[in-house]
Amino acid sequence: MLGVVAVSAGLAPARAAVPVSALASSVLVQLTNTQVDAIGLTAYAGSYGTAVSTSVGQDDPGDFSDPDGMLSRISIATQNARTSAQTSKYYAQANLTALQVDFNSKALVRLGEAAGSVSSFDSYAECVPPPVGPYALAYNRSAGSVITVLGRQVRIGTTKLDITGADLGVPTIGTSTLTVVVAPHENPAAQNRQSSADAWLDIDVSGTLNDTSGTQVYQGAITRLRLGEVHANCAENGPTPTPTPTPTPTPTPTDTGTPTPTDTGTPTPTGTPTPTPTDTGTPTPTPTNSTNSGSPTPTGSPTGTVTPTPPPTPTPTGSGTTAPPVTPTPTDSEGGGDLAHTGADGLTPVLAVLGAALAAAGAGVLRIGRRTGRARHR
């Protein structure tokens, strides 16, 4: 019995577990049945005979274990599924002889000689990788074989078959119609400059089923068979080995330079600034009225501007008029240095005599004034 996807409009082929990154892959047979209660067909999807090469240098002679239970639904006389991925060429191939899909002890689909003799089906895809390639080629061939559905030959394209319940082994089905579509796929069918190649053969069976009274009981897909699906992929941006993790480098800080300070300008002073006193060097002498002094005695600390200090007024000690002292001439020099020459050193003896005379004259005037005062009081 046939035995997954209940689809009335069409069936997708069963997909084997082939990595999408494979360099080459091959699946010998894929079967998909729709649930059709009117004839007792249960939903099913399975595959049989797989090979895959996922890295350069890997060959796979094929795996023919049967985890999907396909061999309870199909029979094959000889079988082959192989892949290879060498540096010179990647290829995938599948071939078989005498394939039959059974339903209710009937040969629903058969690939072989009409009389039951042995025939073969071959499917192949290859690609040549760079730098020589990419070049690709694919084909499928059924040399000396024919495809039959319920014992009736079908050809590439669409074929309609009139059947009854006896053909299906279901007595409740009356006159009905099956539609069979045979579609080979070859890309490219001739060698071409491209990086991938693939090929397969699809046999789709659908139908309109009526009961014995002529009432329609089902319409849609019944079964799909895909034979010899092969792929080869030489794309440079295709599968690549998993890279070894590389430690992330520590980023080097970017030198942004020393920030340039913003010149805010020199603040303008308000008011009159106080000048800093400048050392004038030689102190300014203050002359005295001493006759024993040969040079002026310095007093105080140097200042920025030379200001002469007036001598004290001498107290009269005798008669006559006291002569005014000689005042040294001030200098306008702000930078200090030697005082201007006044001739004070040469006049010292003369001033002493002249001072004594003035003192005597001052004393005489004072006595005259006192006598005059007494006479007036009398």
Report, in angstroms and rounded to the nearest whole number, the Rg of the chain calculated over CA atoms: 66
Q: Would you say residue 308 lies in a domain?
A: no
Q: Would you say residue 327 lies in a domain?
A: no
Nearest CA-CA partner of 29 in 108, 95, 118, 83: 95
Q: How far apart are CA 246 and CA 333, in angstroms?
A: 84
Mark which of 185, 210, 233 sits at the end of a domain.
Answer: 233
Q: How far apart are CA 236 and CA 246, in angstroms?
A: 22
- Which amino acid is present at 46? G
Domain count for the chain: 2
Domain encompassing residue 141: 24-233
Q: According to the model, what pLDDT value does residue 113 have?
A: 74
pLDDT score of 298 more than 90: no
Claim to verify: residue 34 and residue 178 sit in the same structural domain: yes
pLDDT score of 57 more than 80: yes
Q: Would you say residue 41 lies in a domain?
A: yes
Q: According to the model, what pLDDT value does residue 157 have?
A: 96
Q: 29 - beta bridge partners?
A: 48, 227
Place of tokens 């058969």: 110
Give CA angle at 103 (101, 105), nearest 5°: 105
Q: Would you say residue 94 lies in a domain?
A: yes
**Residues in contact with 298: Cβ distance below 8 Å, sequence separation at least 6, in sequence order:** 283, 284, 285, 286
Strand order in the sheet with 90-97: 58-60, 78-85, 90-97, 120-128, 135-141
Mark which of 167, 202, 233 sits at the end of a domain.
Answer: 233
Which is higher by pLDDT, 351 or 102? 102
Reading the block at residue 362, the tokens are 């001052």
Mark which of 216, 233, 250 sits at the end of a domain.
Answer: 233
Highest-pLDDT range among 87-96, 137-146, 291-300, 305-314: 87-96
Could you tell me where the beta strands, DSSP code E, fall in the chain?
Answer: 24-33, 44-53, 58-60, 74-75, 78-85, 90-97, 99-103, 106-112, 120-128, 135-141, 146-149, 152-154, 157-163, 176-187, 196-210, 216-233, 285-286, 297-298
pTM over 0.85: no
Q: Would you say residue 267 lies in a domain?
A: no
Q: Would you say residue 311 lies in a domain?
A: no
Give CA angle at 144 (139, 147), nearest 5°: 80
Average pLDDT over residues 124-130: 97
Indicate the SS3 state at residue 171.
Answer: coil
Q: How far apart are CA 92 and CA 361, in angstroms?
A: 153
